[in-house]
Structure 1
Amino acid sequence: MSSMTKKPWLLFALLLIMSFYRACFSIVGDTLSPGHSLLESDTILSQGSKFELGFFKPGTSSKIYLGIWYKGFHEEIVWVANRENPLSHPSSSRLELSENGNLLLFEGSSEIPVWPTNLTFPQLNITEAVLGDDGNFVLRGRSNTSTIFWESFDHPTDTLLPGAKFRVINKVTGKPQQLISWKNSKDPAPGVFSERLNPNGSQQFLLEWNKSQIYWSSEVYNGTSLRSVSESTLIFDVSFVSSKNESERYFNYSLRNPSTLARYRIDQTGQIRILLWLPVASVWNTFWSTPTNISDVYALCGAFGVVQYPDNSSNPCECLEGFKPFSMEDNRLNDWSGGCVRKSPLQCENNTRANVKKDWFMKISNMRLPVYSKEYNLALNASRCELACMENCSCTAYAYNRSGCMIWEGALLNLQQLPYGGKIGQDIYLRLAAAEYPSTQAESGKKWKVWVAVLVPATGLILCLSICFSCKGRLKRKDQTGEIPSSYNLLLFDFDAEIHAINDEMNTNNNMKKREKDAELPLYSYESVLAATNNFSTVNKLGEGGFGPVYKAKLLRGQEIAVKILSKRSGQGIEEFRNETILIAKLQHRNLVRLLGCCIEQDEKILIYEYMPNTSLDFYLFDPTKKKMLGWETRIRIIEGIPQGLLYLHQYSRLRIIHRDLKPSNILLDSEMNPKISDFGMARIVGGNETQANTNRIVGTYCYMSPEYAMDGLYSIKSDVFSFGVLVLEIVSGRKNTSFYNNESLSHLRYAWELWRDD
């Protein structure tokens, strides 16, 4: 019997040592030496235990990747080696530092690496791989550790760590260096969003979709600060560095407090985010992000996908009617890069059935139109525009407005459903298969014969009765008033006489009847409005606000008036519209624009106002040349006139009115530059003794809103006073409130307070 069998404890000790040999041989602290391997169950830990390198599976995925993460935060991956070539066999996955000095990632028994560093060395065993406390994984010389042959910082994925150089041109590949987003939260494969530096030398960041469409750019770095990257110099130091011969240009940032954990990342939503670890709350917090509104990210929802409002929801995308997500699994992961596909093929794409039903167009209102329209034809009318799209099988949608006919071929990108009462969108007509036609309309089409048989006799009877009652009513009204009420001809009306009649003191009974009649807002025929504006000619267009375009009209007597067409998206019914306009028409003050009448015909809602020849205050106030026309005497007169109109609205009118949208564009100027408050589309009437109210629908312009209204929906007469205060600061300074956004003061209010505080 051998001595080994006589001493079994020696055999046990040897087996125990051998069982640990592989792990000890594979990993020694933060370094991987030549001939050694990193196995699936092993990790490399940086010297200060800040970063860890090893194999990981994102979420519940079965795919395996080699990556780096913050120690203790396995989900916060900052670098991935094989993002385009995942592994699938954990037991046979390994990272080796070969004798020729290269890092090689293998799977199974294959001798072809899944991922290599591809460096050429003249000698063997001259390198070692080390993970630093800055998160940089480097191949360096064994004898001279300052010699770096390869580093992960030169091959970033979606993250830029503090201290890393984000170069204009990658020194290894010779191509523009980029940060590329993950495909989704569970797949580190390259996504469609990327970031790079502007190659023209302007020291500017660019965000791109599909490496082709730039949808955001930062301000140019001025040598002292870069607000698009960091909004707090207390946390970050940022800089651009250029060599003397411009051979190397890069951006980097560092942390004032080295113990802070941070990462700069482009995520799957196409936004840049700076994430900070908050130890007190134990969360990663988004310290800064851009673009601020996710709807500004180009083609976020892919082909035929729509960004919904509000645009800050966790899943902001939906498919258009008649479409479905390209991949339900990607949809669950909030990955819309694949966009949406049709549920049913179009008729022109169906070659198997000759008698298949024709395609149709569905109207979608208040949309931000997609880019790259195929045609923009002024000559086509609405019907011919639809026909041009229908005859082209590649045409997927069309739109027709005053600018002409636009048609789109192929995928529709960058669609957004806009909020009503906010940004003004347009109508687009989407081509759909007959199978997607609404069932209620299809059923009604099948039963049209039955309805005709029933409705024709009934309609005839009702029509006869209506004519009889109408004639009787008209005769009765003629007996009482001596005239038959009808829509007036706008061209023949004399507004000067009407204004003088209201301003005169009248005491007779006839005059009292005239005053009572004037309380009812005059109605004008649509044909006469059309004639007065020359068919709403673009030559007569004065502008376009939040509630519709405004045109100048000329009457037969030579008088000029303003005609506003209210958008069909306003949500008001005819009765509500008429009641509100009659109430506003009762307001008579020299500092309020007078409402002269309205038109309610052919599904149109039109308001007639007195014409202000000097347009609006913002036309002069913010123009470098025209602002010289506003001398101090004129500015003081404007500042004094506006509160006179507000005081009347708040206290002395028969109705207590809160305007809710006081701003320079809503202050019109008459021929003598006197101010008149206009645009009561957002105004609200409160009770005689009430001074405030609440709403769930916040409307208006944010930079003029009082805090309690913008945040809580609470509006009062003080809301108008707050807006007036902002307006006064703009009139005095000649600068927009929003012009301070690139300044440390951020707004007029803070800037004025700083001046007051500093005497």
Structure 2
Amino acid sequence: MLTNTRNPWLFSVLLLILSYYIECFSTAGDTLSAAESLSVSESLVSQGSIFELGFFKPGTSSNIYLGIWYKKFDVMVKDISIVWVANRENPLTDPSSSRLELSEDGNLVLLDRSSKKPYWSTNLAFPMSNSTEAIIGGDGNFVLRDRYNLSTIFWESFDHPTDTLLPGGKLRIDKITGKSKQLISWKNSEDPAPGMFSFGLDPNGGSQYVLEWNRSQSYWSSGIWNGRFFNLAPEMKQNSIFNYTFVSNENESYFTYSLNNSTFIPSRFVINISGMIQQQMWLAGHCNWNISWFQPRQKSNVYALCGAFGMSYENVSNPCQCLQGFEPFSVKDTKLYDWSGGCVRKSSLQCEDSMNTNGERDWFLKKSNVRLPVNSKVNLTGSATTCELVCMKNCSCAAYAYNSSSGCMIWEGPLLNLQQLSDGGEAGQDIYLRLSASEHRSTSLRGNKWNVWVIVSVLLPATALLSWLCIWFLSKGKVKPKGEKDSSNDLRLFDFSAEIHAINDASNTKDCLKKRGKKDVELPLFSYESVSATTNNFSDANKLGEGGFGPVYKGKLLKGQEIAVKMLSKRSGQGLEEFRNEITLIAKLQHRNLVRLLGCCIELDENILIYEYMPNRSLDFFLFDPTKKQTLDWRARFQIIEGVAQGLLYLHHYSRVRIIHRDLKPSNILLDNEMNPKISDFGLARMFGANETQANTNRIVGTYGYMSPEYAVEGLFSMKSDVFSFGVLLLDIVSGKKNTGFYNSLGAVEI
């Protein structure tokens, strides 16, 4: 017996050490044995602590699922590292009674003990001993095996993938049984239930894989295997990190991959909720998956991406919108919304509403330049009027289209795969969408929300240049002859989505041309009263900002179109002579990558300009902000670089007279709703003749850091000056850093 005074202390230390080891040995480890169970608060962790199997609740959902995820990730990003889900179609709800256990017959069973209801099971029918055990491997494979003969595998999660293929997993087809394994997308980011998109081996044979909608409609194929990669996915050969393999023999065909690097890198091959396949890997120091490559390259190529009565748009981050007269089926945030649910009508059609006694008829809304939906029900001969009547008489008819080559096409029921095409690309067609009379009444006030692509610039420091443009062509209109009627247009009623020169009143057009002094200049003149009304009398609530040239206000027309209104400050020192030669040219500049002046107002000693609206402000707003620059992925950056280059090429070579911009920088690159770039600020621009290549100035103006050396030192400028500025801008876009930062930092580029 321990009796001296030191013995109690020694005994306490031994108890502490013993309790520590007892606690260590009581952890679940990586194995679940017979007669054991796993509760919601417990988990299995693979050797090396790479993978963890346990219970989770995705996002804000209260549903409980059994799944596998990468253990090494921070708990805050568990939801985005889940690689397998057991009960994706049958979630648990009671955390206190949810258990995973091995049943008496050796099967894995997920059940609610209070109701004795099984929610998921390995469901193996052949006899097994009670010596089975389940183990989570270091490769993320959850295996049911014989504990006395470890090579005997009864079941494994790699044979039952959900939306993810891990290194070593097989996406296969059994040629003997004909059964195939597919990756099937989650329904949305908070619901792992099977979505509408799947990826698997082509059931018609061969070595290619296909992406399908609703397990029936193929919309992308990988092409055949050429020994190193699938020939329609050339990105695979450009990635040195992964080793891809395709095997085909008399028993099976399968695709698998492994890591070439001996250093472990978390990775996965996944089909996401938007119907795209992605090869992803997790980079140290980041809190998200890095996409090595993906297919299809355009989201708009995904079949029925936006569901019923949804319209998809090209080259935008959120490509889905509901058609006018429709709203999302779900009220959830559209970032989480399962677009396979599509959109539903806001108001019933007249033929569907038996209580409608007002006699108002349904009507058809024209949507132009679209790729028509699939599976038209009827093809008829006849005129466009006949086509409309046929659709109107059929209450199931949702839309019709007519052209001389294919005749009349009718769509009954939901419209799927309707796509809005961009200008200058594939030639689209017109479709006429059937809507209720109530939508027709509201259109005159609300406008078609999908046509609000008229955008407004708020960052044009060279307002004076364009203001004097109005003065130059409209100076004769400042003093009207006695008795002459004011020919200014009402801005509130103007439709900028139509051609600018299409002013309804022919006499008004003639009068405007007279005021402008040149018949080929087509710049609308608006009354001060109407301009003031669009901005709520230039209220502070509508004020977007103010620079050295004057304040900028946001305006809205009666049809819902948004504009920006800039008032030229009387303190501005800009004069007519400085810009006189440029005015006649800039009024006629037309290019998708140049900011456009829409009109002006010269009245009551006020000089006001109306611009396109640019909702995403300028490039520097995204590029140099630590948070916002994360939204500029490589595709977006390349799109911006290409757009600026196209705009610059137009100014230098394809406009009527060569233009040197002289102030190309991120703050002068504005971004529209689709993140397309538009060059702005022509206040320092200079016009060259057809045979001129270089000029000299005594006044050096511009932004240091973007000026070419010969211009900054000697005042010489040419097309090469803009090319130099473009090069610096290119470095800004690629590095995400201001050019002044290069002087003090030689570190690696960080995006």
TM over 0.5: yes
The aligned counterpart of 2:582 is: none
Aligned residue type for 2:397 = C
Q: How does 1:70-109 map to 2 (within 5 A)?
A: 70-73=70-73, 74-75=78-79, 76-109=81-114
* Structure 2: distance between partners of 1:374 and 1:108: 52
* Structure 1: distance between partners of 2:104 and 2:360: 69
Q: Find the residue that maps to 1:175 and give its secondary structure.
A: coil
Aligned residue type for 2:280 = L
* Structure 2: distance between partners of 1:184 and 1:72: 24
| Change over 3 Å in CA distance of 1:347–1:22 after alignment to 2 | farther
1:693 is displaced (CA, Å) by: 10
| Change over 3 Å in CA distance of 1:21–1:276 after alignment to 2 | same
Measured against aligned partners, the alpha-carbon deviations of 1:677-717 in whole angstroms (never above 9, x if no partner) come to xxx9x99424367599989799xxxxxxxxx999x999999
1:159 is displaced (CA, Å) by: 0.2
| Change over 3 Å in CA distance of 1:716–1:69 after alignment to 2 | farther
Which of 388, 393, 396 in structure 1 is aligned with 2:395? 393
| Change over 3 Å in CA distance of 1:347–1:112 after alignment to 2 | same
* Structure 2: distance between partners of 1:239 and 1:374: 43
Aligned residue type for 1:183 = K
1:125 is displaced (CA, Å) by: 1.7
Q: Find the residue that maps to 1:194 and give its secondary structure.
A: strand
| Change over 3 Å in CA distance of 1:571–1:169 after alignment to 2 | farther
The aligned counterpart of 1:369 is: 372
* Structure 2: distance between partners of 1:433 and 1:123: 63
Measured against aligned partners, the alpha-carbon deviations of 1:584-618 in whole angstroms (never above 9, x if no partner) come to xxxxxxxxxxxxxxxxxxxxxxxxxxxxxxxxxxx
Matched, 1:254 2:254: no
Which of 421, 431, 435 in structure 2 is aligned with 1:432? 435
Q: Find the residue that maps to 2:144 and give its secondary structure.
A: strand
| Change over 3 Å in CA distance of 1:688–1:180 after alignment to 2 | closer
1:182 is displaced (CA, Å) by: 0.1
Residue 38 of structure 1 contacts residue 95 of structure 1 at CA under 8 Å; is this kept in 2? Answer: yes
Residue 196 of structure 1 contacts residue 207 of structure 1 at CA under 8 Å; is this kept in 2? Answer: yes
The aligned counterpart of 2:49 is: 49
* Structure 2: distance between partners of 1:60 and 1:442: 38
* Structure 2: distance between partners of 1:296 and 1:179: 19
* Structure 1: distance between partners of 2:436 and 2:83: 46
The aligned counterpart of 1:325 is: 328
1:56 is displaced (CA, Å) by: 0.4
Aligned residue type for 1:242 = S
Residue 658 of structure 1 contacts residue 716 of structure 1 at CA under 8 Å; is this kept in 2? Answer: no
Measured against aligned partners, the alpha-carbon deviations of 1:196-215 in whole angstroms (never above 9, x if no partner) come to 10133321010000111101
1:421 is displaced (CA, Å) by: 3.1
The aligned counterpart of 1:199 is: 203
1:438 is displaced (CA, Å) by: 3.3
* Structure 1: distance between partners of 2:415 and 2:364: 15
Aligned residue type for 2:342 = G
1:231 is displaced (CA, Å) by: 3.9
Q: Find the residue that maps to 1:437 and give its secondary structure.
A: helix
Residue 94 of structure 1 contacts residue 105 of structure 1 at CA under 8 Å; is this kept in 2? Answer: yes
| Change over 3 Å in CA distance of 1:18–1:93 after alignment to 2 | farther
Matched, 1:37 2:37: yes
* Structure 2: distance between partners of 1:239 and 1:29: 33
1:19 is displaced (CA, Å) by: 14
Q: How does 1:218-237 map to 2 (within 5 A)?
A: 218-226=222-230, 228=233, 230-237=236-243
Matched, 1:411 2:414: yes
The aligned counterpart of 2:154 is: 149
1:160 is displaced (CA, Å) by: 0.4
* Structure 1: distance between partners of 2:445 and 2:172: 60
Which of 291, 296, 318 in structure 2 is aligned with 1:291? 296
TM-score, length basis structure 1: 0.56
Matched, 1:112 2:82: no
Residue 208 of structure 2 contacts residue 230 of structure 2 at CA under 8 Å; is this kept in 1? Answer: no
Matched, 1:138 2:136: no
* Structure 1: distance between partners of 2:128 and 2:271: 39
| Change over 3 Å in CA distance of 1:423–1:24 after alignment to 2 | same
Which of 161, 167, 170 in structure 2 is aligned with 1:162? 167
Which stretch of structure 1 is more off in the superposition, 359-368 or 77-86?
A: 359-368
* Structure 2: distance between partners of 1:392 and 1:406: 13
The aligned counterpart of 1:557 is: none
| Change over 3 Å in CA distance of 1:178–1:440 after alignment to 2 | closer
Measured against aligned partners, the alpha-carbon deviations of 1:142-164 in whole angstroms (never above 9, x if no partner) come to 11101111000010000000111
Residue 686 of structure 1 contacts residue 692 of structure 1 at CA under 8 Å; is this kept in 2? Answer: no
Which of 324, 340, 343 in structure 2 is aligned with 1:340? 343
Which of 218, 221, 224 in structure 2 is aligned with 1:214? 218
The aligned counterpart of 1:60 is: 60
Measured against aligned partners, the alpha-carbon deviations of 1:335-393 in whole angstroms (never above 9, x if no partner) come to 2111001111111111233444111111112211111111222x211111111110111
Matched, 1:384 2:386: yes
Residue 170 of structure 1 contacts residue 177 of structure 1 at CA under 8 Å; is this kept in 2? Answer: no
1:37 is displaced (CA, Å) by: 0.5
Residue 658 of structure 1 contacts residue 684 of structure 1 at CA under 8 Å; is this kept in 2? Answer: no
* Structure 1: distance between partners of 2:151 and 2:89: 31
* Structure 2: distance between partners of 1:343 and 1:408: 19
Aligned residue type for 1:99 = E
1:439 is displaced (CA, Å) by: 3.4
Residue 657 of structure 2 contacts residue 687 of structure 2 at CA under 8 Å; is this kept in 1? Answer: no
Aligned-residue CA RMSD (Å): 4.2
Higher relative contact order (CA 8 A, sep 6+): 2
Q: How does 1:420-569 map to 2 (within 5 A)?
A: 420-439=423-442, 441=444
1:225 is displaced (CA, Å) by: 2.6
Aligned residue type for 1:427 = D
Q: Find the residue that maps to 2:194 and give its secondary structure.
A: strand
Which stretch of structure 1 is more off in the superposition, 277-286 or 290-299?
A: 277-286
How many aligned residue pairs are there? 473
* Structure 2: distance between partners of 1:688 and 1:71: 60
Q: How does 1:723-734 map to 2 (within 5 A)?
A: none
Q: Find the residue that maps to 1:337 and give its secondary structure.
A: helix
Over the matched positions of the two proteins, sequence identity in percent amounts to 55
| Change over 3 Å in CA distance of 1:442–1:330 after alignment to 2 | closer
Aligned residue type for 2:169 = A
Measured against aligned partners, the alpha-carbon deviations of 1:620-673 in whole angstroms (never above 9, x if no partner) come to xxxxxxxxxxxxxxxxxxxxxxxxxxxxxxxxxxx9999999xxxxxxxxxxxx
The aligned counterpart of 1:664 is: none
Q: Find the residue that maps to 1:230 and give its secondary structure.
A: helix
Q: Find the residue that maps to 2:373 and give its secondary structure.
A: coil
| Change over 3 Å in CA distance of 1:415–1:43 after alignment to 2 | same
| Change over 3 Å in CA distance of 1:156–1:422 after alignment to 2 | same
Which of 306, 315, 327 in structure 1 is aligned with 2:311? 306
The aligned counterpart of 2:129 is: 124
| Change over 3 Å in CA distance of 1:365–1:63 after alignment to 2 | same
Which of 272, 279, 290 in structure 2 is aligned with 1:274? 279
1:402 is displaced (CA, Å) by: 2.3
Gaps of 5+ in 2: 1-10, 447-495, 504-584, 593-649, 672-676, 689-751
Residue 212 of structure 2 contacts residue 219 of structure 2 at CA under 8 Å; is this kept in 1? Answer: yes
Q: Find the residue that maps to 2:432 and give its secondary structure.
A: strand
* Structure 1: distance between partners of 2:670 and 2:654: 12
Aligned residue type for 1:125 = N
| Change over 3 Å in CA distance of 1:440–1:362 after alignment to 2 | closer
| Change over 3 Å in CA distance of 1:433–1:142 after alignment to 2 | same
Q: Find the residue that maps to 1:386 and give its secondary structure.
A: helix
Residue 368 of structure 2 contacts residue 430 of structure 2 at CA under 8 Å; is this kept in 1? Answer: yes
* Structure 1: distance between partners of 2:422 and 2:499: 12
Question: Bigger radius of gyration, 1 or 2?
Answer: 1
Aligned residue type for 2:238 = S
The aligned counterpart of 2:563 is: none
